[in-house]
Homo-oligomer: A and B are copies of this chain.
C-alpha cells in the first residue's frame, strides 16, 4: 500500500487493505480519519518537582455540569510521564496550542528522559496559580487547571481514558464572551490533522439552535 499517492473518487479501502498497510503509513492514515483534532499541551509536575509538558490531540469535552474533559493516554509512549505525574499529584493543566507556538508544542512530543523538563527544552514558559500544583504554559491564551476524577483503563487497546474536572480557567488575552461562547479563533488556537499537520482556522459561521421545520439562522 506504500505506493498509493492519489486516492481516486469513490475508492474503497477495505479492512483487509488497511490491515496490510505498512505500520507508519497506517498510523498516518487512521489518524487522519476522525477529522480535525484539538491541540493542547498537558502540564504536570512529578512528585520530585520536575515539570513536564506534552502535546496531546485527544482532549475532548465530556460534560458541562460538572465541567469535565477526557483525554486518551498511551502509557507506553512519550505520554508515560504525564500519566504517572497525574496519578501522583492528582492535578494537570490543559493549555491551548496557538499558531505562534506550534513548533515548540510539536517538540514536546519527543521522547525526553523522565528527568528532563520540556519547558526548558522548548523555551515555553512555566507559570503557576495559587490553586493548581501543575504548571501552566504562559504563552497559551486559554488554559485550565484540572483535578483528576478517574482513569479508566480501556482493555480493547490498553489505552487509558483520563477524566478530569475543571478547577479554574485562565485567559491571557482580551477575548469576547457574549453568550458564554469563547472565541478560540480570536485566541489563535490551532488544530491538528493526522499526527503532525497544524492548521489555523477561519470561521464560516455560527448557527442558531436547530429545531425541526425551522430554518437555521446565522448568529455571528
Contact B210 A99 (CB under 8 A): no
Beyond A60-B37, A61-B58, A181-B29, is A103–B175 a contact (Cβ under 8 Å)? no
Chain A interface size band reads 35 or more
- In the complex, the answer to whether A32 meets B181 with C-beta atoms within 8 Å is yes
A204 touches B102 (CB 8 A): yes
| Chain B residues with CB under 8 A of A69 | 33-34
Tell me if B177 and A23 are in contact (CB < 8 A). no
CA distance A113 to B181 in the complex (A): 29
Residue of B nearest to A13 (CB): B169
Please state if B142 and A33 are interface contacts (CB–CB under 8 Å): yes
Q: Which of B21, B199, B210, B220 contacts A197 (CB 8 A)?
A: B220
Q: What 1/0 mask marks residues of chain A from 184 to 206 whose CB sits below 8 Å from any chain B CB? A: 11000111011111111111111
Chain B residues with CB under 8 A of A65: 23, 26-27
Contact B36 A182 (CB under 8 A): no
CA distance A169 to B180 in the complex (A): 37
